[in-house]
Amino acid sequence: MEQIQQAVQEDDAEEQEYWSWGAGNDGQLATGRLEDEHSPQLLRSLSDFGPIIFLSCGGAHVIALSPGGRVLTWGRGTSGQLGHGEMVNSLKPKAVKALESFTITHVSAGWNHSGFVSDSGAIYTCGDGSFGQLGHGDFKSQCSPVEVSFFSSEHVEQVACGMRHSLVLLRGNVDHQVYGFGSGKRGQLGISTEKVKSTSLPQITMGLTNVRIVSISANGDHSAALSADGSLYTWGRGFGCASDACIPRCVDVALSLKEVALGWNHALLLTSEGEVFMLGGDRHGALTDPQKTSSTGDASGKSKEGTIIMRISPDHIETKAVQIAAGAEHSALVTDNGSVMTWGWGEHGQLGLGDTNDQTVPQVVSLGLDHTSAEKHPISRVYCGSGFSFVLRTYDSDSQMR
């Protein structure tokens, strides 16, 4: 949520550029082509719609949010996740007409479903509903956004869509602030001390009473939440060799965190000091060759729950990270000098390095600069889908590079 609020403050910037790369067989790159791209592609299709303040990338579709609360979607739509009233792919961005009478403030793209939150606190979902992840009390799919009536008397703040489950964060209700619905086979709903197959109606996520949650995240079979004091809570599928958790548990990292990004087998953590840590195993090079941190559970770099916690130390840079993003099995960060770095699985070119190689150490992505004027400074944000990546780059002559 902090990312969106920050972006809103920058919506009067001079100009934006949009870049995409990686898997493109469903039109998710917005290039107009159904093919993978191994290097960053400068997009013209988004420029016609005016400024974009936030992107959410799912399994093979993307949701874009404008400063005025307008929503665009594109990519895979065969489950109705684009919200266009039909179940077909879209190679280019299209406005979601069913939401045009609302001001949307938060969006989330899951594997094959989508969630939208309005400024009035209503939540709308569409796409694959076969696991109950739309929250409508049934297991039907929807090709247009439908309001989740369960929350009609509540004020929804955020939505997070995972592989086959969804989370909702309510405003101002400390006791019952997070709800889950959809698949719960790995404990990712947090609604019971035992795993549940699925639920099609939202249920209260347990274990967060008297904790003020400020953001929620979902991807794969993982769920996470950050509290106001910078603590991390995770539930669902365990990272690495750690066991699954049916109820949120506080990860003992002894760090003040400002952001978390979930992949399928790993999670990135960004501290308030600009350091990046990672939870999870090393599948497809999802982990770098990092240093284990002594600030965590024990000298081996494990938390009390057995989760491997490692510090990401990119070679040849001494800058701080200002933002992180995670795809299925690749990772990205933005440094305070505006560089975008990627590592992990590269089979579809999702690292943007011009090839399909995996990388175990963060590498700088080369983004062409159309602007050579010294007074124009780029502010970059990176977003990752399952096997693809986007960068939104804003040029603002009044901003300092960060």
Residue 57 is predicted with a pLDDT of 98
8 Å CB contact between 70 and 100: yes
The span from the CA of 234 to the CA of 247, in Å, is 8
8 Å CB contact between 334 and 322: yes
pLDDT single digits (tens) 250-270: 998 888 899 999 999 999 999
Residue 299 is predicted with a pLDDT of 26
pLDDT band at 377 (very low <50, low <70, confident <90, very high): low
The span from the CA of 238 to the CA of 330, in Å, is 18
The span from the CA of 205 to the CA of 176, in Å, is 8
Tell me the domain boundaries of the chain: 2-396
DSSP assignment string, 323-383: EEEE-SSEEEEEETTS-EEEEE--TTSTT-SSS---EEEEEE-----S---TT-EEEEEEE
pTM of the model: 0.91
Given its phi and psi angles, is residue 93 left (phi above 0), alpha (psi -120 to 50 degrees) or beta?
A: beta
Tokens of 64: 């874009």
The span from the CA of 295 to the CA of 334, in Å, is 23
Look at 280 and 363; give whichever has higher pLDDT. Answer: 363
pLDDT single digits (tens) 69-112: 999 999 999 999 999 999 999 999 999 999 999 999 999 999 99
Check whether domain 2-396 has CATH 3.30.590.10, yes or no? no
The DSSP output letter for 308 is: B
pLDDT single digits (tens) 107-148: 999 999 999 999 999 999 999 999 999 999 999 999 999 999
